[in-house]
């Protein structure tokens, strides 16, 4: 009975470990965004949205565009920003970026830690914030 009990304990520990690894890897797939502030502007029909964005190590956003301009400030990590018609840029913690409305771009985490950034969008109220680009 003792051997069976220890075998069950080992199996249970392996199952818990595998579930933990699966949950951790699922949580790190693709970019994530959390809205911190969303407010109407004095400009009729426009709003400002402040997000905290993150990209896992080795992750990428996929080429996309936004209906309005955005400004970003990299809090942690290192990334390559590919912007259509411009050379790739490497951004590190403390760097800022501006991307005009409609500009196709993609952020790629090329560092050793997850990227964390504050990103502010100025968009028409109710607009789809991100559209995939071919």
CATH topology of domain 32-132: Jelly Rolls (2.60.120)
The pTM of the full predicted model, rounded to 2 decimals, is 0.73
Q: Mind listing the pLDDT tens digit for each residue in 101-132?
A: 999 999 999 999 999 999 999 999 989 889 99
In sign, the C-alpha dihedral spanning 81, 97, 112, 63 is negative
**CB–CB of 109/60 below 8 Å?**
yes
Task: Give the three-class secondary structure for 129.
Answer: coil
Domain spans, the chain: 1-29, 32-132
> What integer pLDDT is reported at residue 23 of this predicted model?
39
Q: What is the mean pLDDT of residues 77-83?
A: 96
Closest by CA to 123, choosing from 97, 100, 96, is 100
DSSP 8-state class, residue 75: E
């Amino acid at each position: 009975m003792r051997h069976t009990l220890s075998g069950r304990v080992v199996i249970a520990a392996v199952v818990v470990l595998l579930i933990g690894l699966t949950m951790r890897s699922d949580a790190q797939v693709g970019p994530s965004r959390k809205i911190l502030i969303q407010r109407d502007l004095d400009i009729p029909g426009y709003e400002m949205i402040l997000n905290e964005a993150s990209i896992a190590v080795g992750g990428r956003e996929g080429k996309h565009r936004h209906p309005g301009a955005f400004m970003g400030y990299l809090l942690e990590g290192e990334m390559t920003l590919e912007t259509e018609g411009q050379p790739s840029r490497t951004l590190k913690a403390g760097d800022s970026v501006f991307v005009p409305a409609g500009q196709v771009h993609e952020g790629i985490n090329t560092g050793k830690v997850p990227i964390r950034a504050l990103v502010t969008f100025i968009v028409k109220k109710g607009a789809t914030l991100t559209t995939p680009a071919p």
